[in-house]
């Protein structure tokens, strides 16, 4: 959006809450993989001017934020509905379909039923601009050769975006509903924070035969600090704070330079401009701010995903990883030591290896599936 990267998460609860600045991806900076791109000639140290002291500086910032919000509202382009009534163009080829999730509404997914073999379900990360487009390189690689489905999480992409409470259980139920609708054995490939939902679904759904996790969140060491505070109250206090300023906050996050800046941290080379374009489009949908506020407040993360989810997996699992500015892999060796778990490093990638090293990712996936037919 994780790898939320935007992906490019989209981090464990600990990964996500122990650092600052996780607004677009599946987590915050990890302690061991943080990568900052500094602007030449600029320093972070600046002595406050006398006239900025006291209440004047907060007032100026508030006025500036109000001005930025006014510009955003005035300049945001309106999106016209397409032939299917959707204002958001399709994220991938194939037919856009919907399933109804009780108590929520419509959940979107894309389907290409051509080909033979076990169906493949692709799930994106969770971030401020998550969508099935995050899985497009793998969709393009496998569509036509085997049945492929790409899920869009509740509150993201072409799925409904109501103002409700978003939880890991809700996200997991969307994947489980798609598996139930297909009614057959499937392989699942998940990105970043989507890996936690895929693992949770695999613990209770016998139709999920394998899980492949790309730059998964949830493998960092639990840490004290804000992570503990969030664990104590479930992120409710932080959610209330963020929700109070959600409109200007999300207005800032959906700016193209901000989106591109966060994506830049998930690409070793140039940022994929198609992903930037689609991320901008998906953030302009009605209700786009609701689910991301729950993500940013930490409520979509499992407090200890390794202990609660990954360590309990009984199905074959593959982890594809390298560096990631938003998640850490402290407990990956422990996870990889479990029976049926394999870890493959995709060098020179920063969270979205399927965008930058698609042949290597496909080769690893094909070998994994061949061993677990």
For 350-370, the pLDDT digits (tens) are 999 999 999 999 999 999 999
If one looks up domain 13-35+96-370 in CATH, what number appears? 3.40.50.1820
pLDDT value of residue 49: 41
Nearest to 27 by CA among 52, 49, 55, 7: 7
| Per-residue pLDDT reduced to its tens digit, 282-306 | 999 999 899 998 998 889 999 999 9
Mean pLDDT of 242-255: 67
* Cβ–Cβ < 8 Å for 107, 160: yes
- Tokens of residue 186, six digits: 């499937």
pLDDT value of residue 26: 39
Mean pLDDT of 198-221: 97
Q: Is the dihedral of CA 165, 171, 172, 176 positive or negative?
A: positive
Q: Which of 46-50, 234-238, 264-268 has the highest mean pLDDT?
A: 264-268
Using pLDDT thresholds of 50, 70 and 90, give the confidence band for residue 86.
Answer: low
Mean pLDDT of 43-57: 40
Using pLDDT thresholds of 50, 70 and 90, give the confidence band for residue 87.
Answer: confident
DSSP 81-114: --TTS-SSPPSSSSEEEEEEETTTEEEEEEEE--
Q: Indicate yes or no: pTM above 0.85.
A: no
Within 10 Å of residue 264's Cβ, how many Cβ atoms?
Answer: 15
- Residue whose tokens read 């609660």: 308
pLDDT value of residue 72: 45
| 314 vs 54: which has the higher pLDDT | 314
Least confident interval from 28-42, 144-158, 193-207: 28-42
DSSP 147-160: -EEEE--TTSTTS-
* Cβ–Cβ < 8 Å for 302, 13: yes
- Reported as type and span, the H/E element at residue 208 is strand 208-214
| Per-residue pLDDT reduced to its tens digit, 261-282 | 999 999 999 999 999 999 999 9
pLDDT value of residue 221: 79
The Cα–Cα gap between 242 and 230 comes to 14
pLDDT value of residue 238: 64
| Per-residue pLDDT reduced to its tens digit, 22-32 | 334 433 233 33
């Amino acid at each position: 959006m994780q790898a939320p990267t935007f992906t490019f998460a989209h981090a464990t609860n600990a990964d996500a809450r122990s650092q600052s600045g996780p607004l677009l991806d599946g987590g915050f900076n990890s302690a061991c993989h943080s990568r900052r791109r500094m602007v030449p000639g600029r320093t972070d140290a600046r002595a406050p001017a006398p006239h900025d002291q006291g209440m004047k500086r907060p007032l100026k910032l508030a006025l500036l934020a109000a001005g930025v919000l006014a510009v955003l509202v005035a300049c945001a382009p309106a999106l016209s509905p397409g032939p299917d009534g959707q204002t958001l163009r399709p994220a991938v080829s194939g037919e856009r379909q919907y399933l109804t999730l009780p108590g929520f509404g419509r959940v979107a997914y894309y389907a290409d039923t051509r080909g033979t073999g076990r169906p493949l379900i692709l799930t994106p990360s969770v971030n401020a601009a998550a969508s099935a487009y995050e899985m497009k390189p793998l969709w393009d690689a496998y569509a036509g050769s085997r049945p492929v489905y790409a899920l869009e999480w509740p509150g993201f992409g072409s799925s409904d975006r109501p103002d409700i409470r978003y939880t890991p259980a809700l996200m997991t139920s969307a994947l489980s509903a798609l598996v139930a609708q297909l009614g057959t054995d499937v392989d699942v490939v998940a990105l970043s924070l989507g890996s936690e939902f895929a693992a949770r679904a695999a613990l209770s759904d016998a139709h999920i035969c394998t899980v492949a996790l790309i730059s998964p969140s949830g493998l960092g060491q639990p840490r004290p600090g804000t992570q503990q505070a969030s664990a104590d109250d479930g992120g409710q206090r932080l959610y209330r704070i963020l929700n109070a300023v959600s409109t200007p906050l999300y207005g800032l996050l959906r700016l193209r330079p901000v989106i591109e800046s966060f994506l830049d941290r998930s690409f070793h080379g140039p940022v994929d401009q198609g992903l930037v374009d689609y991320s901008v489009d998906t953030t302009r949908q009605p209700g786009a701010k609701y689910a991301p506020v729950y993500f940013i407040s930490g409520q979509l993360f499992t407090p200890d995903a390794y202990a609660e989810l990954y360590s309990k997996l009984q199905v074959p699992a593959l982890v594809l990883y390298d560096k990631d500015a938003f998640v850490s892999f402290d407990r990956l060796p422990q996870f990889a030591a479990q029976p049926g778990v394999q870890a493959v490093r995709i060098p020179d990638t920063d969270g979205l290896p399927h965008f930058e090293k698609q042949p290597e990712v496909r080769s690893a996936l094909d070998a994994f599936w061949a061993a677990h037919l």
